[in-house]
Amino acid sequence: MERKIQYVIVSLLCSFFFTPAVLADDRLNAPLLIRVGAYENKPKIFTDESGNVVGLFADILNHISKEEGWQLEYVHGSWSQCLKRLEENEIDLMVDVAYSEKRAQKYHFTNVTVLINWAIVYAGTNQKIESLIDLNGKRIAVMKASIHTEGVEGIKSLAKNFDINCRFVEVESYQEVFERISRGEVEAGVVNRIYGSLFSQAYNVRETSIIFNPRHLRFALPKSAALSPLLSKRLDHHLSELKKEPASIYNKALYIYLSGLPRELIYSEPETERAGKRVILSSEEAAWIRDHPVIRIGVDPEFAPFEYITSDGSYDGIASDYIAILNERLGLHMQLAVTRGWKDAVSKAKTREIDVLPCVGITRQRTGFLKFSKPYINFYRVIITRTDNPFLTGLEDLENMNVAVQADTSHEGYLQDNTNIAPLLYDTLQEGLLALSNEQADAFVGNLTSSTYWIRKLNLTNLKVAAPVSQETQNLHFAVRDDWPVLVGILNKGLSSISEQEEIEIRKKWINIEYKPGISRRAFWRYTFQIGGVVLVVFAVIMFWNYRLKHEIHKRIQIEKELFEANQNLRALDRLKSMFIASMSHELRTPLNSIIGFTGVILQGMTGPLNDKQHDHLSRVYNSAKHLLNLITDVIDISKIEAGRIEIFRQEVNLAELVDEAVITIQPQLRDKKLTLQTSVSGELVMHTDKKRLLQCIINYLSNAVKYTESGTIAITARQIDDRVEILVSDTGIGISQEDQTRLFDAFERLDSHLRVKEGGTGLGLYLTRKLATEILGGEVLVRSREGRGSTFGLLLPIGADTAASH
């Protein structure tokens, strides 16, 4: 009764204000209660565990109503009950109603389509079913009373119109359709595209290019309600806006529901932080870490703020913060080893009593026994002189001078490599500076940050920073004993995982604060006496320098902040790009599949005879569309991997059976080219991995082998090597030059050859294979080839659950 009154009032208001002016900004007068028919049809609309109505359509509607200030009341019922209520004006709205002209006579539809749904034929993975004609003589599971089974454009009438003789096995649900296909009780089955895309992988069934019966799903409203035109106008307005915006709730919901990802993701902000922390280790790296429970590090006890030993003997400084993160993230145990100072640490690194020097520059000498990670800290190398020294412009002015430098540092190496200077060597940085201050040397070369720190600390007021050594910054790296190259790779991966924000935090912590490194008692008294002799003449110069330094640091922090923000925006955009590509590509498959399906039908002469020209032209359409479909399918896979959204389904895989399955797929091309095929895979070889993705990799290699081989043999071998499996696909084809082999696995790389045009290709196959093999299957790809002699492409993958990448 109350509702009726509300309707009367709203109708009156509507007719009263129904003028163009109102239409221009026709937000409905809120708050308005809207009753919505709710039924169970996952993932489009369904009730979650807490009783909320959610789903692709419901989430979009909930969002729109929040924007409009509407209040929604979901009225639960079955699909047919809901439709009946709509017809009788008992509810105001139904989501997910397929538009048809017949229905449009009964209901008021929105103009904008929310989603197009259609039926797809799925088949067993070993079935060669590509066009309608291939269904001849097959058993096909279909859902009872479904519009895709019985409707005018359903599979039954389609089969009848094309004279296809198949047996329909009627079942109760889409789930049963897939179960029957995967048990091999039927060769194929029909489901709607949404169910198909969500569950085909779990049942290991294959999508064919046979699609039919596209339906525009829209919102439907009661025909007679006064509210309907206005309500549907607002819905249309929101829908078209939401569709345009790639990051809108509409596009996110579409992507997430159609890929079967958790619903919460729709509402989560891009997690750039977490993404930054992902470290994917190869199984070799993981095994290396297991085999090396402790890594001994040798440090410079007096290299503040980069690294130093505090008065209570613990390790501190910028490098120690990096080590803490790397230890935690990589599962390493880098531990401080006992040394007698920096020189001792370096010589112990030479004899491998120490494994890692965590904070060093690269010098020629050091490369003789160490390998370096990428840089993670940089600094300026500068020349320090006494204030009474003449003006200097650079290293050139130091020839014939006594130049002090700390022994075994990158500065010593730098002078050796770039000048003829024979420097005076000091064990510690402080000793070098004191020598300069005491006029035992004319200049000192060291790094700006720690030198100015010690000048201030030791109050060496007769010293000044005279000139930079070069405009470039010098870098600090982790140095690893050179028989441990694997550790360098691991450290690099760990360093890349450290986000900009974390780096900024570390720097903020160490710049502009007082460090309290311990100095030995002896050194303390020695310094104290020496410092006592030094006068405070040029204190102002250092103050000035400090001021400049602070200013510079402030500027750098500001720039770093801006960079960080820009980077974050870029990452968010990148994720959106991947999401957008994935959902757009999904939509592109619709028209393409129908082009392929129907040109296939026409080409086979089922709709009447074709003359040669027509046949030729149509074949081009058919081949181009297939090419485009392959491209889109690859792009979808790549963008899913890049967005970190590909799900991994591990199961027992008998390798011999899987290879047979791959061979069946490329059999027609093999036969056309008259190539022979040899397989050598032990029937016992069982892996625990993602079957579909492994199959995809093998098929990619195999079809390349067939494409790029004109005569001879293609061989597939697989063998177990420890806890890994090596799968090799060899051919006797055109081969690949040494130089080209390096860029083979990059995106869109197609090499020049006489087969390039003849053999179609996207240049994405190997790129995708590498991504799948490394990022999904946790292994690696290999290639060996000689030009004109043939190629061998390989996969080296972990055999079991323990070693496969699960991050």
Coil/strand/helix, residue 731: strand
Q: Quick check: 30 and 69 in contact, CB under 8 A?
A: yes
751 binds ligand ADP per the rule CB under 6 A: yes
Q: Which of 24, 32, 463, 73 lies closest to 226 in space, CA to CA?
A: 32
Give the helix ranges, DSSP H, for 643-753.
655-673, 691-707, 738-741
CB of 588 to ligand ADP, least distance (A): 19
733 binds ligand ADP per the rule CB under 6 A: yes
> Mind spelling out the 3-state secondary structure of 257-291?
HHCCCCHHHHHCCCCHHHHHCCCCCCHHHHHHHHH
CA dist 26 and 33 (Å) reads 17
C-beta of 633 vs 704, nearer to ligand ADP: 704
639 binds ligand ADP per the rule CB under 6 A: no
731 binds ligand ADP per the rule CB under 6 A: yes
C-beta of 230 vs 744, nearer to ligand ADP: 744
> Tokens for 800?
């079991």
C-beta of 213 vs 762, nearer to ligand ADP: 762
C-beta of 96 vs 731, nearer to ligand ADP: 731
CB of 263 to ligand ADP, least distance (A): 35
CB of 726 to ligand ADP, least distance (A): 17
Q: Which of 797, 796, 791 lies closest to 715 in space, CA to CA?
A: 791
Neighbours of 597 (CB within 10 A): 19
761 binds ligand ADP per the rule CB under 6 A: yes
787 binds ligand ADP per the rule CB under 6 A: no
389 binds ligand ADP per the rule CB under 6 A: no
Q: Residues with Cβ < 8 Å from 303, sequence gap 6 or more?
A: 317, 342, 359, 429, 450
C-beta of 182 vs 704, nearer to ligand ADP: 704
The binder of ligand ADP chosen from 447, 704, 732, 803 (CB under 6 A)? 704
Q: Fill in the DSSP letter of residue 374.
A: -
> Tokens for 440?
């035992």
Q: Which of 215, 263, 197 lies closest to 55 in space, CA to CA?
A: 263
C-beta of 436 vs 766, nearer to ligand ADP: 766
Coil/strand/helix, residue 21: helix
Pair type for strands 188-192 and 139-143: parallel
Stretch that binds ligand ADP, among 81-89, 266-274, 361-369, 732-740 (CB under 6 A): 732-740
Pair type for strands 377-386 and 443-447: antiparallel
CB of 668 to ligand ADP, least distance (A): 17
The binder of ligand ADP chosen from 582, 736, 773, 796 (CB under 6 A)? 736
Burial of 807 per CB tally in 10 Å (0-12, 13-18, 19+): exposed
698 binds ligand ADP per the rule CB under 6 A: no
766 binds ligand ADP per the rule CB under 6 A: yes
CB of 617 to ligand ADP, least distance (A): 24
Q: Quick check: 108 and 220 in contact, CB under 8 A?
A: yes
187 binds ligand ADP per the rule CB under 6 A: no
Categorise residue 267: left if φ over 0, alpha if ψ from -120 to 50, beta otherwise. alpha
C-beta of 74 vs 708, nearer to ligand ADP: 708
Stretch that binds ligand ADP, among 29-37, 223-231, 382-390, 756-764 (CB under 6 A): 756-764
- Dihedral, 756, 758, 762, 763 alpha carbons, nearest 10: -20
762 binds ligand ADP per the rule CB under 6 A: yes
CB of 696 to ligand ADP, least distance (A): 12
Please count the residues of this chain forming the interface with ligand ADP, following the rule CB under 6 A: 22
CB of 780 to ligand ADP, least distance (A): 17
CA dist 289 and 281 (Å) reads 10
Stretch that binds ligand ADP, among 280-288, 452-460, 678-686, 728-736 (CB under 6 A): 728-736
- Dihedral, 289, 295, 299, 305 alpha carbons, nearest 10: 40
C-beta of 480 vs 777, nearer to ligand ADP: 777
Stretch that binds ligand ADP, among 66-74, 262-270, 342-350, 734-742 (CB under 6 A): 734-742
744 binds ligand ADP per the rule CB under 6 A: yes
Beta bridge mates, 467: 383
734 binds ligand ADP per the rule CB under 6 A: yes
Q: Quick check: 596 and 629 in contact, CB under 8 A?
A: yes
Stretch that binds ligand ADP, among 41-49, 155-163, 327-335, 757-765 (CB under 6 A): 757-765
> Tokens for 191?
């489901």
C-beta of 151 vs 735, nearer to ligand ADP: 735
Stretch that binds ligand ADP, among 513-521, 570-578, 605-613, 702-710 (CB under 6 A): 702-710
633 binds ligand ADP per the rule CB under 6 A: no
Q: Quick check: 720 and 782 in contact, CB under 8 A?
A: no
CB of 760 to ligand ADP, least distance (A): 7
Stretch that binds ligand ADP, among 72-80, 196-204, 249-257, 733-741 (CB under 6 A): 733-741
CB of 619 to ligand ADP, least distance (A): 20
Burial of 176 per CB tally in 10 Å (0-12, 13-18, 19+): middle
Q: Quick check: 185 and 107 in contact, CB under 8 A?
A: no
Span 708-727, contacts to ligand ADP by CB under 6 A? 708
CB of 791 to ligand ADP, least distance (A): 4
Q: Which residues bind ligand ADP (CB under 6 A)?
A: 704-705, 707-708, 731, 733-736, 744, 749-751, 753, 761-767, 791
